[in-house]
Amino acid sequence: MIPTPRRAGEWARRLTSAALKGVRVLWRYVWAPPARATKPAAAPPRNRAYLHDRLVALPLLAAVAFCGLGFTATSLRDDSAAIRTHIAPALRDLADARISLRIAQREAEVSLGAGDAVELSGLSPRYGSRITGAAQDLSQVARSGALTAAERQELDVVSGLVDGYERWIAWAQTNVSDGSLYRAGLSYAQSMLCSPDRLRPYEPATGRYAPYPRCAPVTGSEATAVVDRISDLERALRHRLEARATLGPAAVTAAAVSAVAFVLLTAGLWRTLRFLRIRFRILASPPLLAAALPLLAVPAIALSGLYAYAAQEDTVPIARRLYAVTSPSTEVAFEERRTDPHDPHHRRAIVTLADSMDGVLDHRRLAALDAVAPWVAPAGLLVAVVIGATLHAHRREYLLVGRPGTAV
């Protein structure tokens, strides 16, 4: 039904009237002082409205303030927990798997380059440790809970490709006596591992410390090699971490509304206690003072939230460095000079960056207040009930005393 202009104008007048009434009530709540007992004839209507406004406003403000704070604190706690227990470990394991596979390829090249001796001694121990470590890393990522269902399927494909890669390396080892065959096996294994750089054809290295071949960056549906697929998973997890580290519009709105509500609630409680002292000669109302006690914990909860948000923001550049600055040559150098903390490779090693991320998330927060976040909203509702019941009792007493012909 399409409203007529006359009915639309009537609705507009009603909305305007309701808005003006709300503004008048808010102005009376924020600014109007409690009436003193100097003019008894004029006092009852004004103070009756004063009590009625606070009976509605104070419980509502308490519920809004604490629920908004509880929503923001819980969101920050959940985001920090997800980054600390799921996303950060998955990023570390994916980076380690990506680098370990490339180191394993180099170790296979060097071992097979020794010729028939590899049939007796086998591939180098570093090849075995790195290829086993990569498989374990991928298994840990699958159990981390950080991936979606589609990403889990992609990880299963990566694990299958790693198994196929190992079989081609074993085939090259079996045919090491035939130079063309084992080189073809190495070349095919390298193509499974890394998208080839068209400007620099792949050649097996004979030295362990030779420059590693560049992997051409391929993304999306064209990412078919193992390193490309792992890089895509890392990219998706970094985007998820950035989304978790950033406050969403719902949390920002809840925090802003909660802050305004807390200011009005604090001012309203103070003015209500002053009103009770002036009109009722009550020096202190124990229920209202008890309801005001949870306000003392608000600064600590807000500070904990700020710390958690700052820690989440600090993890974003570390996650980017975990992909951008790590490399096989850095990991090998760090592994061989692990005890030297002043080595420049130390700051670019996967374990160093992962420990840095864990340290930021673990130490730059008030861990003791993590368990408080779920109780903020229930505490606010309890405060609202206590305030409402107390003001209702005082208002009922005031109306009985102020009624004409009623004995005091």
Q: What is the mean pLDDT of residues 87-104?
A: 95
Task: Supply the pLDDT for residue 369.
Answer: 78
176 located within any domain: yes
Task: Supply the pLDDT for residue 408.
Answer: 36
Task: Supply the pLDDT for residue 118.
Answer: 73
Q: Which comes out higher in pLDDT, residue 7 or 376?
A: 376
Q: Is the pLDDT of residue 407 over 60?
A: no
Task: Supply the pLDDT for residue 5.
Answer: 55
pLDDT class for 8, splitting at 50, 70, 90?
low
5 located within any domain: no
359 located within any domain: yes
Average pLDDT of the chain is: 83
18 located within any domain: no
Tokens of 388: 């409402």
Q: Is the pLDDT of residue 142 over 50?
A: yes
- The domain in which residue 385 lies consists of 59-402
Task: Supply the pLDDT for residue 154.
Answer: 93
Q: Is the pLDDT of residue 120 over 70?
A: no
Q: What is the mean pLDDT of residues 85-113?
A: 93
State pLDDT tens for residues 298-340: 999 999 889 999 999 999 999 999 999 999 988 988 888 765 6
pLDDT class for 112, splitting at 50, 70, 90?
confident
Q: What is the mean pLDDT of residues 225-241?
A: 93
Q: What is the mean pLDDT of residues 270-288?
A: 81
380 located within any domain: yes
87 located within any domain: yes
Task: Supply the pLDDT for residue 38.
Answer: 46
9 located within any domain: no
State pLDDT tens for residues 241-257: 999 999 889 999 999 99
19 located within any domain: no
Question: By the 8 A CB rule, do 59 and 388 touch?
Answer: yes
Task: Supply the pLDDT for residue 10.
Answer: 72
State pLDDT tens for residues 156-206: 999 999 999 999 998 988 888 887 888 888 889 988 998 877 667 777 777
State pLDDT tens for residues 20-68: 666 666 655 555 555 454 444 444 446 666 777 788 889 999 999 999 9
Total domains present in the chain: 1
Percent of the chain with pLDDT over 70: 81
Q: Is the pLDDT of residue 146 over 50?
A: yes
Q: What is the mean pLDDT of residues 61-80?
A: 93
